[in-house]
């Protein structure tokens, strides 16, 4: 019979094996500010971004991608998260003509609903927000958030459901030319996030923690100016992905039951007429 010491040595070795197989944070990302890497009970790596009065945190992929399917599980800040914003997004960088695809979770007071802001920026134009309440408490457990980005559309997915689909129209701006890196952040968005900036972060309940696990990027890397993309095997699953009739149905369901804000309904913001995609399919 193995001694307890030997058994626990095996257990430790196994835990290390499991851990290293899933150590996505430092393999893929550079971190900034308060980001901690740990493991959950099943040996999955968990990246926790911590926001306190001094600092928030972020991680950013070292590689940039042109099209892909990006997915992560997030457990949001529990309790009073008013004023905080946790995010998972793609960006081509700063600058006035940048591209970006955003999922941002706008915190709220205890018991009040968190809103998921989705947005698409093309050439520096990012007035395309749609916000949704979620049909579950996103701080109670992990849920999977996915961005599918290809040459035809940008799809935002929550767990297995399509939430929003931003379609490319040949004559309208679309994020299709600039490689983007993957980012996750937790920051103080008091000026914007909760009830239009009326509710600020309550620092007496800090630090705030958002946890990320199970990251995956099934994505193409540009092989150089004018040269073809280097895409991973299985790209077909998402490169031509467009919503099916059933998936269009879940988009309509979310719009009808959970939409909080739609730029295409915001006449105050677009006094000279809505962006052209608002009146197309």
Residues that bind ligand NAG (CB under 6 A): 106, 108, 112-113, 115, 193-195, 260
Cβ within 8 Å of residue 49, ≥6 positions away: 33, 34, 35, 56, 57, 58, 59, 86, 184, 185, 186, 209, 210, 212
Rounded CA-CA distance 8/25 in Å is 27
Residue closer to ligand NAG, measured from CB, 102 or 247: 102
Minimum distance between the CB of residue 119 and ligand NAG, rounded to whole angstroms? Answer: 14
Q: Give the integer Cα–Cα distance in Å for 40 and 25.
A: 14
104 given a catalytic annotation: yes
Closest separation between CB of residue 117 and ligand NAG, Å?
8
Min separation Cβ 278 and ligand NAG, Å: 22
Q: Closest approach of Cβ 81 to ligand NAG, in Å?
A: 10
Determine the Cα angle at 139 with ends 105 and 188, to 5°. 40
Alpha helices in the chain (DSSP H): 4-21, 24-28, 236-239, 245-258
Give the residue carrying structure tokens 């559309």: 153
**Catalytic option among 100, 129, 247, 277:** 100
Is 100 noted as a catalytic residue in this protein? yes
Residue 194 C-beta: closest distance to ligand NAG, Å: 4
Which residue's CB is nearer to ligand NAG, number 46 or number 163? Answer: 163
DSSP state, residue 181: E
Question: Which C-beta is closer to ligand NAG: that of 72 or that of 106?
Answer: 106
SS3 (DSSP) at 248: helix
Cα 23 to Cα 4, 26, 29, 262, distances in angstroms: 28, 7, 11, 38
* Closest to 200 (Cα-Cα) out of 186, 187, 189, 185: 189
User: Among the options 104, 129, 247, 277, which is catalytic?
Assistant: 104
**Three-class SS state of 239:** helix
Q: Which residues are catalytic?
A: 100, 104
């Amino acid at each position: 019979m193995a001694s307890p010491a030997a058994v626990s040595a095996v257990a430790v070795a196994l835990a290390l094996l499991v851990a290293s197989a899933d150590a996505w944070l430092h393999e893929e990302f550079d971190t900034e500010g308060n980001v901690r890497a740990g493991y959950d009970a099943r040996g999955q790596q968990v990246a926790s971004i911590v926001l306190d009065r001094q600092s928030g945190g972020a991680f950013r992929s070292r590689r940039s991608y042109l099209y892909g399917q990006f997915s992560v599980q997030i457990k949001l800040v529990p309790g009073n998260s008013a004023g905080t914003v946790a995010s998972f997004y793609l960006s081509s960088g700063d600058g006035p003509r940048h591209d970006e695809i955003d999922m941002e979770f706008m915190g709220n007071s205890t018991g009040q609903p968190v809103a998921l802001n989705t947005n698409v920026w093309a050439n520096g134009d990012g007035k395309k927000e749609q916000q949704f309440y979620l049909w579950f408490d996103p701080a109670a457990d992990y849920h999977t958030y996915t961005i599918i980005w290809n040459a035809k559309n940008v799809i935002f997915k929550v767990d297995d459901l399509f939430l929003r689909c931003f379609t490319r129209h040949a004559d309208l701006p679309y994020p299709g030319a600039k490689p983007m890196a993957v980012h996750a952040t937790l920051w103080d968005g008091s000026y914007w996030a909760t009830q239009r900036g009326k509710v600020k972060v309550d620092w007496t309940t800090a630090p705030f923690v958002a946890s990320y696990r199970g990251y995956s990027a099934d994505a193409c890397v540009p092989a150089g100016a004018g040269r073809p993309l280097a895409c991973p095997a299985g790209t077909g699953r998402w490169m031509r992905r467009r919503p099916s009739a059933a998936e269009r149905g879940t988009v309509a369901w979310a719009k009808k039951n959970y939409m909080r804000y739609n730029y295409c309904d915001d006449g105050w913001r677009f006094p000279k007429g809505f962006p052209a995609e608002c009146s197309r399919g």
